Structure 1
Amino acid sequence: MSEFRQFLSEPWFAILTMILAAAILLFIVIPVFAVFFKSFGIGSGGFTFEYYKEFFARSYYLNSLLNSLGAAIISTIVVVLLSVSISLYVTRSTSFLSKFYRGAALLPLVAPPFIFSLSLIILLGRNGVVTSLLNDAFGLEFSIYGFWGVVLAQILGYFPIGYMLVESTMRNMSPSLENASRDLGANQSKTLRKITLPLSQSGITKAGLLVFVMALADFSNPLIIGGGETFIAAEAYLLVVGQQNLEQAAVLGVFLIIPSLIVFIFQTYVMKDSGLETISGESGASNAPLTKRVKSVVMTINTLFVSFIVLMFIMVVLGAFVKIIGIDNSFTLEHFQSRNGWDSLYTSIIVSFLAAILAATIGMLQGYLFARKPIPGKKALEFLTLFGLAVPGTVMGIGYVLIFNGSPFFLTGTVLLIVLNMTFRKIGVGLEASISKMHQIDSSMEEASNDLGAGPYRTFGKVVVPLLSPAFIAGFVYTFMTAMVSISSVIFLIAPGTNLAAVHILNLAEQAQIGMASAMSFVLIVIVLSCMGLLKYIEKKTGVSI
């Protein structure tokens, strides 16, 4: 009770906290529950298991689940193995090649998640560059469309997520145990198996879980390169936009949200602060360099994979500046002359800017309140805020359609709803950045301001806000960058006149307008790459890591 009284002692902060809590419930929690309830027919005439019976009775839906699980498992295994290989070299070398590997490994972050499907079609599609060469030279007919095309696109697209977690773990690992193993006579291969990989277990596990959930919830790659194979997230999307079957789409959404919730809880509570690599604060750069044998193996793997990533981006650039790549390679700028494309890009910039402002502001406010104020239920509220990052976009999109397509919140098709969707899916990033920054700020500065008569509100405006500005800027840039390439949830919410660049590119790719899709992708990549450069500069100058 004393905590509650203390909470109410500053009424404006208390009111602000309650408003934020209500917003989190409305824009994160309620949409997820709406999908769950809709899967049982609640709101459509009563409680029923009929939609789940239909799911298990029809092989079509079961195959979509099996395909999604199979693709996610294979993608996860390959991504983890590649992440370990590149991380081993990058954390044990300061050469130019190691910096190139790291930069190329992060390159997919600047593109929409389906960009590699587009590149693979240019390279290995039915009329692709390599396909045509093989057909002309050997009479071989080959196509990347289908299950394995989706797997390859997912490996390329989600690799940076796994790599960042594994590389961070290995870089922060204490070199003393590895050195002790070597001193005791173990060769490097044995040291890697017995010491390095076990110490990296937490990062590798987190990477595997996160990549698995993201690959399972992928819907854009199956739409473009699936070649008729069914995948659960893509089917949920088609059920909504094609058949208006929200109940059956909600059932598929439940099968997406359950693994995401399990993984989120596991990472948040079970694996939190459990990594053995934190034994020492020494930098991973002091680890013993790789032996010639191990180095040759990892460099072969790394060079082949990184070269393939770079080749995928080259295909997009070439596709943007030639008439028909592989058929008519004459230079042209006509693909950049689409009025609809530039309009969608303009809309994306405006929407992403507004979402970034909101997300960074809310994240900063929450970070301060959670770090300094005695808020009842603080842990639960923080959990729900961060959970917005874990909810698959398809599920959130369906949930928004269910909640905001009628009274009292009829917002479907408006720019406002798209902005709110992007905002509350990303506020967890600003929250974490602000909490991290607040832990670096000595509370004595605020106490001194209060002692001088400033009061809590003026202290917040004059002392705390300037100190949190690096976290605000970092949260803003990150949200803007990710919102520009976001597609999985906003595609449910667009209406005529509110099309977004990523959605427009997806539609062009589905219609086989490869040149125009490549051109808009190129422009989007340049914008997001600039944001990533700015974000890295902010991290370097302020120490606020996102």
Structure 2
Amino acid sequence: MARAGSVWFWLSAAMLVVLAVFLVYPLFNIVTGSFGTGSRSGWSVLLAEPRYLQAVTNTVMLGIAVTATTVVIAVPLAYVAARYDFPGKSVVAILPLITLVIPEVISAQTWLMMLGNNGVFTRYLADHGIDLPSFYGWPGLIIALTFSYYTYVYIGTVAAIRGFDSQLEEAAQSLGTSPVASRLRVMLPVIMPAVLASALLVFTLVVGNFATATILGGRVPLLSVLTYQAAVAESGADPVMQSTLASVSIGLVMLVLFVQRWIVSRGRHEVVQGRGAKAARMRGLSGLGIGVAAGIIVVISLLPLATLVAGAFTRARGPVMRWGDWTTANLERLFNNAPEPLFNSLVYAGTATVVSIAFSTLVSYLIVKKRNLLTPALDYITALPLALSGTAIGIGLVMSFNAGWLPLTGTAGIIVLAYIVRRLPFGIRNASSTLYNVPNSIEEASISLGVPPVSSFLRVVLPLMAPAIAAAAVLTWTTTVAELSASIIVYSGGRETLPIQIYKLIDSGLMAQASAYGLVLIVVILLPIIVATRVFRIDLFSSRA
């Protein structure tokens, strides 16, 4: 443990001050702002207004429904992917990449282009006498969110199944238990903590979702949508209700994360790592059936991407798209007339990624290797963004830095700050996981040879962390450049990013132009992933190993 007064202690203090100003202070303002001034309390309004209570109820119901559907799809898919070889199995490996590549705003847009009132599938079926029910509201929300989030459950479950010791199954079968019963009685309880933890993560993502809820929600009142409307209402923002609604979402997520942490902590005592079962080759009709089922899931997951590409090259007049009439005019208009969102995204996300990774690396080193009186608080505070939706983060930053000693509202700085706060836990988790595997003796040997502690960190420890830092940088970039919920709260005119521009075009019904911007966003996301995985051989999905 680093002693008080050492350079590491003062660095910890400096990091705590930074987090207190840019994370704790905005969170404090959100919570206190919900109580309002005088006799108007946001909580009394919340309890008195049926639409607010309905929004909370709908959000919880949507979270439960989507969590259930993701588990139903992901767990069987994870089991067959971990235990069997079947035709087309290699395509299942792209599922985590789909999650990274297709931002939520694009997923919602393309589902609307396929199954909305004027969607290509809707119109095709209508021409053949089949009228589909409206995709807006509950059907669209559940379908779009399920195929956006089921890979989170898939990744966690397939890792747990591959790490399960198959000898436990064999022992149960040797005692006369059938193969199916042995899996239900032996394997299922062991992997259940991983499944539940992943499922609860999906629930928190649904609660904080903004893009899909706004675009496909229709007349279903949801917490994230009402929070956004309270923040940007044309008649003037309602600071009390935006704080109250944001506080409710924070409370929901914190409760779920507490349950998740409890489940994971119990799972650490229950999961037995050992010899994983060798994947069995499936042939004939059974192998073909599994391959087709898995292929259908992958195809449905890729439909938004295929629709986006087609839409970007489809001629349109206003909101009317002429499917089958191809053109490059949408992309030409983007690059020639309105390239600012692309430039803004590159600059803001790039700056946020560099600052976030540098900050995360230093904080992780302090927490893992230089523990002192301050590092427990540092560890706890850096996890707070996990309980904050993007909308809540944006509201907190605007409330805290709208004026006063640090007026950031209306500048690019508040957008970059929102990105950094939103994705801070990504870098912390990646860097910490590597540091736990770096022996202290390596650094101590360097110091014993006369190299100062800070220089030893830079010359010895940092190079060992390089692969994890690179992976964290790529993952931070891909999620930051696609971020919408926080940036749409804090941005000002002329500082639109690609996701914000896409959202505005969707709101105006200009799907072809939105598709062009979406295609550029996909390329911006995909290029670093390809370079990292193919050129530098960085494993971005180590959890699948």
How does the TM-score come out when normalised to structure 2? Answer: 0.91
1:162 alignment partner, one of 136, 153, 166: 153
- What secondary structure does 1:200 align onto? helix
2:125 alignment partner, one of 134, 144, 149: 134
1:153 alignment partner, one of 141, 144, 159: 144
Task: Give the Å deviation of 1:340.
Answer: 6.3
User: Aligned pair in 2 of structure 1 residues 208, 270: CA closer, same or farther (>3 Å)?
Assistant: closer
Distance 1:471 1:449 in 2: 22
1:509 alignment partner, one of 506, 510, 534: 506
User: What is the aligned-residue RMSD (CA, Å)?
Assistant: 2.6
Asked if the contact 2:41/2:240 (under 8 Å) is kept, the reply is: no
Unaligned runs of 5+ in 1: none
Unaligned runs of 5+ in 2: none
Deviations 1:431-472 (A, max 9, x none): 222222222222222222212211212212222222222222
Of stretches 74-83 and 119-128 in structure 1, the one that deviates more from structure 2 is: 119-128
Aligned to 1:434: 431
| Aligned partner letter, 1:14 | F
Aligned to 1:406: 403
Deviations 1:166-208 (A, max 9, x none): 2221221111122333444444443333233222111111111
Deviations 1:88-141 (A, max 9, x none): 111123456222023135413212212222122111111111211222211626
- What secondary structure does 1:280 align onto? coil
1:204 alignment partner, one of 195, 208, 214: 195
Matched, 1:35 2:55: no
Distance 2:132 2:156 in 1: 39
Matched, 1:65 2:65: no
Matches within 5 A, 1:181-200: 181-200=172-191
Task: Give the Å deviation of 1:214.
Answer: 0.8
How many residues are aligned here? 536
User: Aligned pair in 2 of structure 1 residues 18, 392: CA closer, same or farther (>3 Å)?
Assistant: same
Deviations 1:257-314 (A, max 9, x none): 0121122233335523624663123345x25567989867755543332221122221
Matched, 1:311 2:311: no
Aligned to 1:362: 359
Asked if the contact 1:28/1:425 (under 8 Å) is kept, the reply is: no
Aligned to 2:314: 322
Asked if the contact 1:430/1:472 (under 8 Å) is kept, the reply is: yes
Of stretches 463-472 and 238-247 in structure 1, the one that deviates more from structure 2 is: 463-472
Distance 2:422 2:132 in 1: 43
1:216 alignment partner, one of 184, 192, 207: 207
Distance 1:427 1:120 in 2: 30
1:267 alignment partner, one of 260, 271, 275: 260
Distance 2:542 2:280 in 1: 27
- What secondary structure does 1:323 align onto? strand
Distance 2:185 2:290 in 1: 18
Matches within 5 A, 1:435-474: 435-474=432-471
Distance 2:431 2:106 in 1: 32
- What secondary structure does 2:325 align onto? strand
User: Aligned pair in 2 of structure 1 residues 293, 71: CA closer, same or farther (>3 Å)?
Assistant: farther
Matched, 1:380 2:390: no
User: Aligned pair in 2 of structure 1 residues 77, 270: CA closer, same or farther (>3 Å)?
Assistant: closer
- What secondary structure does 1:75 align onto? helix
Asked if the contact 1:470/1:544 (under 8 Å) is kept, the reply is: no
1:246 alignment partner, one of 228, 239, 243: 239
Deviations 1:379-411 (A, max 9, x none): 231121022233211111111111111212210
| Aligned partner letter, 1:73 | I
Of stretches 464-473 and 346-355 in structure 1, the one that deviates more from structure 2 is: 464-473
Identity of aligned residues (%): 25
Distance 1:386 1:500 in 2: 26
Distance 2:47 2:289 in 1: 45
| Aligned partner letter, 2:242 | A
Deviations 1:317-340 (A, max 9, x none): 111111148634211111112256
User: Aligned pair in 2 of structure 1 residues 293, 377: CA closer, same or farther (>3 Å)?
Assistant: farther
Asked if the contact 1:36/1:251 (under 8 Å) is kept, the reply is: yes
Asked if the contact 1:385/1:427 (under 8 Å) is kept, the reply is: yes
1:20 alignment partner, one of 15, 23, 34: 15
